[in-house]
Amino acid sequence: MLPPTLADIEAAADRLDGHVLKTPTIELRGLSDHLGCTVIAKLENLQRTSSFKERGALNKLQQLTDEQAKAGVIAMSAGNHAQGVAYHAAKLGIAATIVMPQDTPFTKVTRTKSFGAEVILHGETLTQATQFAREKAASDALTFVHPFDDPDVIAGQGTIALEMLAALDEPLDAMIVPIGGGGLLSGMAIATRALQPGIELVGVQSAEFPSMKQVLNNEPVVTGTGSLAEGIAVKEPGLLTRKIIAQHVDNIEIVPDSLIERAIYDLSQRAKLVAEGAGAAGLAALMANRKKYAGKRVGLVICGGNIDDRLYSNLLLRGMVNEQKIIQLRIALPDRPGALAAISTVIGNAGGNIVEVQHQRLFNVVSVKSTTIDIVMETRGPLHAKQIVETLQKQGFPVERLAEPKTEANP
């Protein structure tokens, strides 16, 4: 396979016009102020399927022959690629079959079905699902739509760079793009090198799945079993994409999941954006290298916003804990009427908001005449939390701050 050219990417842009959103390219001022650089983001999380993946999928589908379109397509994915193929195949009147591993979350299966695709659950891993999808493609004469290692798919993803660069009055100093299989960065790198070759191109991978960097360094591929950034948790990067990235990309950064978690939180708090792990990976790399990029103009792609509701809720609460906007105290007090009310009054007068109380008479108690309570409360931040603790201590209550979760933001 030959890599797509700038002309291929421009042709893809013409095909996609009116069918996918030309998503906003904006400065995230809250993050710019926080990080000391100009943060410019392309908001692909605002696409109909909440991911950039539909660009490459649609560009591929639009180039099928009449015979191929009539026969139908098949794809393997446990996430965003599946939804992109399903959505646009339905729009074009093409039958789509999506193969997903058997343990794919029910919400993703349901959402993919809602776009009109037939979903087959097969295999315990993506590798097994891929093998089955290829076998079914051959036996049923279906066109296999690869999630990243296909020139048409890569060209579709490259349209993001065309839109991003055209929207800016001033050039970027650097562009940081997530890498899973490498389709997104490959397409963007080809377009960027052709139009503005002076931009530093940086890829980013989770420390749990640094497969592209390992392959390019001729190292054995060693990955973890899971990542918060599941959208870029790819064990085997593309053969075509690795060649393109080796040719055009300056560096690949590896970031821990803890920093990706922090980046998701910061996008929610400082930019009011919902991002999945892969979508926040570029920001995580910027946060890890803030001194290097101080004063520079840095482009990011918020490439997806499909994150599990429960996971997102827990992540936001953990973020509040790390910022000491939620704290947990253990207080010993006499076991007598009114003692808990007295503590509640002190905390309320100090501006704290109690959200949970655990009253313990049997454990962690020094005397049978005393009791221990664990209180979870909201505060305005570290200084306010400290003031509440000091106020309780001045009122004669022994207070112990219980440990917060250890993350990149709270080492």
**How far is the C-alpha of 110 from the C-alpha of 121, rounded, in Å?**
12
Average pLDDT over residues 107-111: 84
Residue 369 has pLDDT above 70, yes or no: no
Which of 342, 406, 405, 343 minimizes the C-alpha distance to 377? Answer: 343
In single-letter form, the type of residue at position 317 comes to L
Give the Cα-Cα-Cα angle 108, 112, 118 (nearest 5 degrees). Answer: 125
Beta bridge partners of residue 407, listed in sequence order: 410
DSSP symbol at 304: B
pTM given for the model: 0.91
69 and 96 Cβ atoms separated by less than 8 Å: no
Average pLDDT over residues 297-311: 95
H-state helical runs in 182-256: 183-195, 211-216, 239-248
**How far is the C-alpha of 374 from the C-alpha of 357, rounded, in Å?**
6
54-144 matches 6-53+153-318 in CATH topology: yes
pLDDT in the model for residue 411: 38
Residue 406 has pLDDT above 80, yes or no: no
Average pLDDT over residues 196-206: 98
Which of 220, 214, 218, 212 minimizes the C-alpha distance to 240? Answer: 212
Total length of the chain: 411
53-76: per-residue pLDDT in tens? Answer: 999 999 999 999 999 999 999 999
Residue 160 has pLDDT above 90, yes or no: yes
Cα–Cα distances in angstroms (integers) from residue 354 to residues 361, 375, 407, in the given order: 20, 7, 24
3 state DSSP class of 144: strand
Tokens 């069918």 sit on residue:
19
322-358: per-residue pLDDT in tens? Answer: 999 999 999 988 778 888 899 999 999 999 999 999 8
- Please tell me the class of the 6-53+153-318 domain: alpha beta
Q: Which of 130-134, 292-296, 338-342 has the lowest mean pLDDT?
A: 338-342
If one looks up domain 54-144 in CATH, what number appears? 3.40.50.1100
SS (H, E, C) the chain: CCCCCHHHHHHHHHHHECCECCCCEEECHHHHHHHCCEEEEEEHHHCCCCECHHHHHHHHHCCCCHHHHHHCEEEECCCHHHHHHHHHHHHHCCCEEEEECCCCCHHHHHHHHHCCCEEEECCCCHHHHHHHHHHHHHHHCCEECCCCCCHHHHHHHHHHHHHHHHCCCCCCCEEEEECCCCHHHHHHHHHHHHHCCCCEEEEEEECCCCHHHHHHCCCCCCCCCCCCCHHHCCCCCCHHHHHHHHHHCCEEEEECHHHHHHHHHHHHHHCCCCCCHHHHHHHHHHHHCCCCCCCCEEEEEECECCCCHHHHHHHHHHHHHHCCCEEEEEEEEECCCCHHHHHHHHHHHCCCEEEEEEEECCCCCCCCCEEEEEEEEECCCHHHHHHHHHHHHHCCCCEEECCCCCECCEC
Q: Which CATH architecture has domain 324-401?
A: 2-Layer Sandwich (3.30)
Per domain, the residue ranges of the chain are 6-53+153-318, 54-144, 324-401
279 and 155 Cβ atoms separated by less than 8 Å: no
